[in-house]
């Protein structure tokens, strides 16, 4: 799928989690719901860091472009080293390593560890990166006609404000993990969810997605999971723009309202 649909699906997924926790009697504080949705929207763009034309590869200028080159080469190397006879020959790493559950867990776990050990500045860095990506995905029309610097300033200001809100007692810095020193350990959860939602979205397209790697399926280790070919669509097609994106917005609205006990 394209960036806007990925971001919308990520935000909707976290709002759905918020609705589920509220129904279970453990409602999220509203700052956790909002921040988690924004992080998940940004994280839902991150697996495409292996593609030089993707939104994330352009979002941070030369830094993200250089990182894209590294991730693409790393992904391609892992693909070549682990492929089985049934896996196709490739010339690049797009839709390989970064589009697996292993990558999602590693990135989310790494973010949680960084948030716990790195203190406030690490939390601000995590929020900044994902808020910039959320702006690029959710407000893509405005972001494309704005300067990168303006988007970065918006991400930095949002990160500073939201971190301050979360730090207030009862607002969620210690949501889910309450032991001393475990504040913000939950930040990795929307990152894992965003990456997995991205992979599920890509699995609906013509090419499928090797979410289950390294689990072998038949004579392939990079098996492209997806529905029957008749039910798949091309990225950017009318199905994505006219059907899926409105559905994501509707589900996100219902999930957010349920999480906040509006109904």
Beta carbons within 8 Å of 117's beta carbon, 6+ residues apart: none
Q: What is the per-residue pLDDT for 155?
A: 93
Q: How many CB atoms lie within 10 A of CB 76?
A: 18
The SS3 call for residue 80 is helix
Tens-digit pLDDT profile for residues 18-29? 999 999 988 899
Beta carbons within 8 Å of 90's beta carbon, 6+ residues apart: 76, 79, 80, 96
Tens-digit pLDDT profile for residues 96-113? 999 999 999 999 999 999
Question: Highest mean pLDDT: which of 25-29, 48-52, 53-57, 124-128?
Answer: 124-128
User: How many Cα atoms are found within 13 Å in the side-chain-facing hemisphere of 216?
Assistant: 9
Report the alpha-carbon distance of residue 236 to residue 12 in Å, rounded. Answer: 19
Q: What angle do CA 78, 83, 84 make, to 5 degrees?
A: 165
Mean pLDDT, residues 9-33 taken together: 93
Q: How many CB atoms lie within 10 A of CB 210?
A: 26
Decide if pLDDT at 1 tops 80.
no
pLDDT band at 235 (very low <50, low <70, confident <90, very high): confident
Decide if pLDDT at 134 tops 90.
yes
Report the alpha-carbon distance of residue 212 to residue 118 in Å, rounded. Answer: 31
Q: What is the per-residue pLDDT for 244?
A: 87
Report the alpha-carbon distance of residue 246 to residue 206 in Å, rounded. Answer: 21
Decide if pLDDT at 127 tops 90.
yes
pLDDT band at 263 (very low <50, low <70, confident <90, very high): low
Q: What is the per-residue pLDDT for 182?
A: 83
| pTM for this prediction | 0.93
Mean pLDDT, residues 148-155 taken together: 89
Decide if pLDDT at 46 tops 90.
yes
């Amino acid at each position: 799928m394209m960036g806007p649909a990925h971001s919308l699906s990520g935000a909707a997924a976290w709002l759905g989690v918020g609705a589920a926790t509220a129904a279970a009697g453990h409602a999220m504080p509203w700052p956790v719901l909002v921040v988690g949705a924004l992080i998940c929207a940004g994280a839902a763009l991150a697996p495409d860091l292996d593609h030089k034309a993707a939104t994330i590869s352009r979002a941070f200028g030369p830094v993200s472009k250089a990182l894209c080159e590294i991730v693409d080469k790393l992904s391609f190397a892992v693909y070549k080293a682990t492929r089985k006879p049934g896996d196709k020959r490739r010339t690049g790493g797009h839709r390989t390593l970064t589009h697996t559950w292993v990558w999602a867990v590693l990135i989310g776990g790494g973010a949680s560890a960084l948030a716990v050990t790195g203190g406030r500045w690490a939390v601000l860095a995590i929020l900044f990166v994902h808020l910039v990506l959320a702006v690029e995905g959710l407000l893509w029309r405005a972001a494309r006609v704005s300067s990168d610097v303006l988007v970065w300033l918006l991400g930095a200001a949002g990160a500073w404000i939201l971190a301050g809100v979360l730090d207030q007692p009862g607002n969620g810095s210690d949501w889910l993990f309450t032991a001393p020193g475990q504040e913000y350990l939950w930040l990795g959860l929307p990152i894992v969810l965003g990456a997995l939602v991205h992979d599920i979205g890509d699995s609906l397209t013509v090419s499928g997605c090797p979410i289950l790697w390294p689990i072998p399926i038949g004579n392939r280790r990079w098996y492209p999971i997806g529905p029957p070919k008749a039910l798949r669509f091309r990225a950017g097609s009318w199905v994505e723009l006219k059907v899926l994106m409105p559905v994501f917005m509707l589900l996100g609205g219902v999930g957010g309202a349920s999480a906040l006990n509006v109904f």
